[in-house]
Structure 1
Amino acid sequence: MDQVSFLLVDDLEENLLSLEALLRREGLNLLKARSGDQALELLLEHDVALALIDVQMPGLNGFELAELMRGNERTRRVPIIFVTAGNTADSRWRFQGYEAGAVDFIQKPIEPDVLRSKAEVFFELFRQRQQIAEQRDELQKQAEALKEADRRKDEFLATLAHELRNPLAPLRNGLDILQRNPAGENSGEIRNMMDRQLVHLVRLIDDLLDVSRVSQGKIELRRDTVRIDGIIRSAIESSRPLIDAGGHELMVDLAEASLWVDGDQIRLSQAIGNLLNNAAKYTPRGGQISIVAAAEGQQAIVRVTDNGVGIPENMKAKVFQLFTQIDDHLNRAQGGLGIGLALVNQLVEMHGGTVDAHSSGPGTGSTFTIRLPLVSAPQIITTSEPQTIELSSFRSLRVLVVDDNPIIADTLGMMLEDIGHQFEAVHDGREALDAAMDYGPDVILLDIGLPGMDGYEVCRAFRSQARFQNTPIIAQTGWGQERDKELASEAGFNFHLTKPVPLGQLQKVFADLA
């Protein structure tokens, strides 16, 4: 709470000293001015609880000073007590004083008890006003925090729906295809795809549950003395499909000497794998990712570096917070739920380590560094071979399907072929127009959440070309709220389908178009 300030204004120094002696008390700051001009300067520099102003002063008198105070936003609410040797019983004189802004008058010579009692009232009033202001500010902060939490909750729920629909879409498409033709040519490939998407879906849910368990202290680490290189190899195996899907080059540099830590191999592998996944997601196709392990003093260092989108300065302190995303949702085609880095931070802290992020800014890439305490190597070493995960390739075959997720694009294409149509798939919005010029589609199936150039921009680009002004364009997207449908209509889409798109709904839309 700020110190309470009273302003004493009198052209005679002895009067100021007398007032100061009468009003001196703990917690009270007395400001003194010998003129109206000097008083105005003090009023603009300090918060004043009460001004005691002499009426008769050379130059700017007390009434004129009060009128100037009333004309200034900062000083117009400061209570004024006029101190005067004049006739305070004169009604016209008192009216002039009140009109100038006085709340009271004190007659010279001043009675000490009268002055102290009046000053005490304003002293306490100002204290109460400060307390109310502080309470108001605190309530305002709490309201803003609740508003921000509510906004982040809504954003998280929308993102969760989007991320769950991504694996659900090819699952639904695959099921529809298998139900119509269980022993078809692609049935084995479809089942493998559905299995991988189910694993991805389970991992999303597991990450959510892990964050909740860690936050509540419900995860129990299965500690052992484990080698860092074994943890890293396991993490690479789990992240390799995502790294390869992005066409990234992965450089691995493990320390020559064996580095040992006391920890849960599965959880540490999960933490490092999340860093690799994060690098793969936020690095443009064909990027470079490196992982380095080394010893620095008594710590094992694991450093994951990429040449991806980087981290804005205002986000560096937030990247390890739950549900934090750097880009808006249209650019989060691979953005996940915003829980991966939060989980990394929590798991590393449980192992007595730290993790930090460094980036020189947008477009400069990022470096995440995990530091863990080193321990001595055990006498008996147990190793296990990591399981190799193989990815099936997807073929691209007459409706133009634009989706950055090849699995969704291919399964949609299979559904289209199953109902008698041909398709060609494009995985980048910026390439869609050129592909359409060559392919000449009758219908365009276009995803909204494309990286770089989003679906709204691609649709507007199509509509700007005379050749495609009347071509039916269908939005197929994980963003299915009413506002998303309105935005799609405004951009020029004819239909809006929310992932996963059932075969029956796709059939009905194409029947309507036909």
Structure 2
Amino acid sequence: MSQVSFLLVDDLEENLISLEALLRREGLNLLKARSGDHALELLLEHDVALALIDVQMPGLNGFELAELMRGNERTRRVPIIFVTAGNTSDSRWRFQGYEAGAVDFIQKPIEPDVLRSKAEVFFELYRQRQQIAAQRDQLQIHAQALKDADRRKDEFLATLAHELRTPLAPLRNGLDLLQRNPHGEKAGDIRNMMDRQLVHLVRLIDDLLDVSRVSQGKIELRKEPVRIDEIVRSATEASRPLIDGAGHRLTIDMTETSLWVDGDEIRLSQAVSNLLNNAAKYTPAGGQITLGVRVDANRAVISVTDTGVGIPDNMQASVFQLFTQIDDHLQRSQGGLGIGLALVRQLVEMHGGSVDAFSAGPGAGSRFTIKLPLVPAPARTHGPDQSVVPAPSFRPLKVLVVDDNPIIADTLGMMLEDIGHEFEAVHDGREALDAARHYHPDVILLDIGLPGMNGYEVCKAFRGEAEFQDTPIIAQTGWGQDRDKELATEAGFSFHLTKPIPLEQLQKVFSTLST
């Protein structure tokens, strides 16, 4: 597969160098232009997957360049993200940007993980488009099918931009409220709301990456005999906030509880939870959702039935396709990227099962059914020793936090202090070694995406010194795919944590190190 090309446009060379350092990765070709005119030349020479354009440039500014791109057949569909130090909260300014063709904005100074997460989406999306194009050449796909795929891509880009911004709005509002009145009577409710929105944002990104990983065969299932009722319990716990928030009634109908399948409990619970979430989103407030479990010809049958808006006849065969959303339902749904049902089908088929959908039509509700092969119940084993074990003693640790983003470094430090440890922060990989020699940390919390000397290189340098050969080094990074974890292990990291790191996860890791 050919390289993916991104276009970086900025009149300042140092800004281009910074963007290039942050985005550099295997398979990505970075084109650089210091003027709008040069950018147009590159756009006509290359197939560009994403254009990152500075707004304030002499001569042809960013908005004018975008408008020229929209007027050219070759370049009008290139996604544009404006990079600016201007006031992106100004609605008139943002409207001008969207009118010029932007799908999003990035505020200067740039947060590296925000930039990389956005770039990863367009990188993967372009790779998928390349795969579709290759299949078209081989199978001579009908022209109408290509138009439909292109339309879905455009709808997905628009939906993606909307869905990623939606949870950010209440997070911004909640932060503003807490800054004005941090100890007000609603402070607890505001924090809970912000936590829910952050979980929602992380789930959107995780779902998108999960689809990509499953499609490329990069998800490895951890199969073992698992009870269906445990899958149901875990799935309903995950979906309960969305169901209760819409005022729905959830009924669970299990004819038998001792049913076993050979599977990955986390992934199967994720599939059932996605069906419950789908039912909750497409059912008007106060609806009825039923989760049923029965046996049919040595298969477990898990069904989720709702009293929602239903599925048109012409859509029932395509609801499991990636990026598909039912047009008439877009105004009624509570958001989504059109990937949840595609992920359900992929995960279920990886377990040797099947999933289908049925609806009597618009307004008649829907029923989604998962079928999984049953396995015999495992032989009983003796339970764990119930004798009382003394709680391990806790000792505070000295932690060196290495992250080029001071905000991330400081907030991680605050979390460490909150769970009883102390920290020192540095923001450059090249300075980390000197800092460690003076600080003598018990643990090193190290970012991967550092400018100049990246985290892998820093970790290898630590392991090359006798003092730090056995020091626990924890990777904390926005790169969380399986290959990223393999690279971290090869470089000498002891643990790999994916940003944003929940406090509970940080506490769990450090509890194993501080005893």
TM-score, length-normalised on structure 2?
A: 0.46
Whose radius of gyration is greater, 1 or 2?
Answer: 1
